[in-house]
């Protein structure tokens, strides 16, 4: 059985703790390995090493830091097949989903390759007589990332390439449910030429998280995960004087206008609601058709497509829907489906009774489609994080907009329509951080920034793009004045000699 440890100063490290946790294969429900869980002493030791590596790395020219990022990008590309296999084996998502995840992470590495340009400051000449003013961006210091199970490669890659390129050192605490791909990527970063101590990985649970939040040498913390945990991390981290960005839960709506292309809408919903088994914060979990006729046509088009989804482990190349990550997630999703039925929703497609020969103990749930869902039901209000799509019928466009704005989450949304006026009004008025127009999953490209509004984000900065650069740097402004008049004589001797 494989044991996964930590990664310290460019090499594996076991730490001093004797605690460990099981790693499960979600397709079989069996234990596939174990992960060492860091103690507070382990975390503090890693932070000390990262702090020791900081001065030299922060003083390294930005162009040289970018050279490491270029090499890292090439290694990720050349090893993507191996990385996808490691990722899928522990997460359960299909190989195409895994490769897509890694590719989105690589985009952020490519963005970080441009750090010499991104760190350029501003200069104002003669803000007063013989006085100039200019700005620079300097690294924050030792920073930490706490990342979720659903994108074990991509989400960390949204954090540490930008942080490291800006001159910080980094401590990553990934999900203990699927840590293997993170450790392999850390090896590639070391191979790319990153000095020891600049990037480190500690596996752990709440003890490790609290140690990161409490250690005074950690200057900033990035988090992606559920809203309750995000609120905890933001509150505890900021109380300890740290800069914190916490990207949290979601309930993403897709509005279907009467003039929308229904074939396009159906394709979009199949991918966005059921891809990666619905385990992503940008999944569309609520379809909002405007008008009864639109709703009837949408459900009629969706039903056979949802029923036809191929549920299988990632080792089956025809798989479209793999298992969810854990027994805990499996039970939560089934419980919410049961609540939806009890509260009066119509379960058009029931994926609860999936049973695969040889994988009877796996955490498989087939695609589920609810109709006649109302906004007071738990399947509407709560983030399900599974392959469940709820159809909430809206009587008109204004009702649909009100529904979205009234929800506690504000991560992503989309509208499908041929009407440019409706689309513009929609994106201008919805209180959501990321909006798609005829695009079901409006995840920004790497040189823009990702983040929601309301209870989907705690903190002032979104992740990656220029918001990431701002989060991982501090702005310093200089104002300088030099004595007036041009000096003459030996003081201007640049021709050589004993004073040169």
Known catalytic residues?
281
Contact by Cβ (8 Å): 284, 269: yes
CA 54 to chain centre: 25
Measure the CA angle with vertex 451, ends 448 and 455; round to 5°: 165
Contact by Cβ (8 Å): 409, 452: yes
- Cα distance between residue 465 and residue 162, in whole Å: 8
Structure tokens, 112? 């970080």
- Cα distance between residue 24 and residue 57, in whole Å: 37
Size (the chain), residues: 500
- Cα distance between residue 80 and residue 103, in whole Å: 8
- Cα distance between residue 436 and residue 439, in whole Å: 5
The DSSP H or E segment spanning 336 is helix 327-342
- Cα distance between residue 366 and residue 387, in whole Å: 7
Contact by Cβ (8 Å): 404, 430: yes
- Cα distance between residue 312 and residue 318, in whole Å: 8
- Cα distance between residue 448 and residue 436, in whole Å: 14
- Cα distance between residue 473 and residue 235, in whole Å: 21
């Amino acid at each position: 059985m494989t044991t996964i440890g930590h990664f310290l100063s460019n090499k594996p490290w076991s730490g001093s703790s004797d605690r460990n946790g099981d790693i499960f294969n979600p397709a079989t429900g069996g234990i596939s390995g174990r992960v060492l869980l860091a103690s507070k002493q382990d975390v503090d030791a890693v932070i000390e090493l990262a702090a020791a590596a900081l001065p030299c790395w922060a003083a390294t020219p930005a162009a040289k830091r970018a050279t490491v990022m270029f090499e890292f990008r090439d290694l990720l590309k050349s090893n993507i097949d191996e990385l996808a296999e490691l990722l899928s084996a522990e997460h359960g998502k299909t190989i195409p989903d895994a490769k897509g995840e890694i590719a989105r992470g690589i985009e952020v590495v490519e963005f970080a390759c441009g750090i010499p340009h991104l760190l350029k400051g501003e200069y104002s000449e003669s803000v007063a007589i013989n006085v100039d003013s200019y700005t620079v961006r300097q690294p924050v210091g030792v920073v930490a990332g706490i990342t979720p199970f659903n994108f074990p490669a991509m989400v960390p890659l949204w954090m540490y390439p930008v942080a490291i390129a800006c001159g910080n050192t980094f401590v990553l605490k990934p999900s203990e449910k699927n840590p293997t791909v993170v450790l392999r990527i850390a090896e590639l970063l070391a191979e790319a030429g990153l000095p020891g101590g600049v990037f480190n990985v500690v596996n752990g649970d709440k003890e490790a998280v609290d140690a990161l939040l409490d250690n005074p040498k950690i200057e900033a913390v990035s988090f992606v995960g559920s809203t309750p945990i995000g609120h905890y991390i933001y509150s505890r981290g900021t109380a300890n004087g740290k800069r914190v960005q916490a990207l949290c839960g979601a309930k993403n709506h897709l509005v279907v206008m009467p003039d929308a292309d229904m074939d396009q809408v159906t394709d979009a919903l199949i991918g966005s609601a059921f891809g990666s088994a619905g385990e992503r914060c940008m999944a569309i979990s609520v379809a909002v058709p405007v008008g009864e006729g639109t709703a009837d046509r949408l459900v009629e088009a969706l039903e056979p497509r949802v029923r036809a989804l191929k549920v299988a482990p990632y080792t089956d190349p025809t798989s479209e829907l793999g298992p969810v990550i854990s027994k805990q997630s499996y039970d939560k999703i089934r419980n919410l489906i049961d609540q939806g039925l009890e509260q009066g929703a119509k379960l058009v497609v029931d994926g609860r009774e999936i049973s695969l020969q040889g994988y009877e103990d796996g955490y498989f749930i087939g695609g589920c489609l609810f109709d006649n869902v109302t906004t007071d039901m738990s399947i509407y209000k709560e983030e399900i994080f599974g392959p469940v799509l709820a159809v909430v019928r809206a009587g008109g466009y204004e009702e649909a907009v009100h529904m979205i704005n009234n929800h506690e989450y504000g991560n992503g949304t989309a509208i499908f329509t041929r009407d440019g006026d409706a689309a513009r009004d929609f994106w201008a008025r919805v209180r959501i951080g990321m909006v798609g127009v005829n695009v079901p999953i409006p995840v920004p490209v790497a040189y823009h920034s990702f983040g929601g509004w309301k209870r989907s984000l705690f903190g002032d900065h979104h992740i990656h793009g220029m918001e990431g650069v701002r989060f991982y740097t501090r702005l310093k402004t200089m104002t300088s004045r030099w004595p007036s008049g041009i000096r003459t004589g030996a003081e201007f001797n640049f021709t050589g000699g004993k004073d040169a």
